[in-house]
Amino acid sequence: MPILWVNLNFRGIKMALAKCVECGNDISSSAKTCPHCGIKHVQENTGWSFFDWVGTIIFIIAMYAWDPFSMFSSDTNNWRQESIGTLLQENTDKISENKQFWTTSYYLDEFGEPTSLGYITTSLPINGTYSNTATQNSELKINFLISNSSEVSIMLYKYSNNPVKTSVATKYKVLMQDNIGNRFTLTAIHNLDRFVFDAIDSKRIHDSLIKGGNIKFKIIEIDSPTTEYNFKVNIASSYDNIYKKLTNKEIR
């Protein structure tokens, strides 16, 4: 920000001498009449007018409004940029949460046509991270496939759209924490493109979703514990209502 140098030469502060135009004696430049001969003098306006001050104040305010943080250190500027970035990210997250809700869909047949078999999923994939020996906290997307309270499976996607697949069924340990802090150790079988839970563990997941709130998941490959998937479910819309819609019956 440019520095404004202000000449503080107020009327009445600067004291200077001048020659009287009539008698030639030294007199104060601010004197209205000569003390020697009494002739009246027209004063030179050496101070700032009201409009000078108003214009200067407006200029300073305008420059401050243009870049109010420039008078601080670079650390403060970095803080401002980080704060703005955080705010934008929070707003983006809120927008995503508003667009993310539980919904129903239907499995497809061999011709890609919808069948009568429905399932519960989310309108947008859930965000998470995965880590292994090659990467840490990389982007992960998660989709739930819930056919009923005893049939729950999960699909994971690396780099947004690459499904995690396997040609050999692999066992995973799944840690789950519900919204009141209860923790469960579940088991999932990774078969082809999804992680499938048995009836008992599916019911535990279903019951936790009915309660709502923050539900945390950590999926760990048993034979390779360095491979880990983490995500959290926190969807504002009601899971129990969409479950009733799918099954046409009360929650069990």
Tokens of 40: 């009246």
Tokens of 112: 């890609």
Determine whether 6 is exposed, middle or buried from the number of CB atoms within 10 Å of its CB (0-12, 13-18, 19+): exposed
The reported pLDDT for the residue numbered 161 is: 84
The reported pLDDT for the residue numbered 43 is: 52
The C-alpha angle with vertex 120 and arms to 117 and 122, in degrees rounded to 5, equals 140
The reported pLDDT for the residue numbered 58 is: 82
C-alpha dihedral (6, 7, 10, 14), degrees to nearest 10: 160
Domain boundaries, the chain: 17-71, 98-247
The reported pLDDT for the residue numbered 235 is: 82
pTM score of the predicted model = 0.60
The reported pLDDT for the residue numbered 39 is: 73
pLDDT values of the chain reduced to their tens digit, one per residue, 252 residues: 444 444 444 444 445 667 777 777 777 766 777 877 777 665 544 456 666 777 778 877 776 666 555 445 555 555 555 555 554 444 544 444 456 789 999 989 899 898 989 999 988 899 999 999 999 999 999 999 999 999 999 999 998 789 999 999 999 999 999 999 999 999 999 999 999 999 999 999 999 999 988 999 999 999 888 899 999 998 867 898 899 888 875 444
Q: Which residue type occupies 92?
A: T
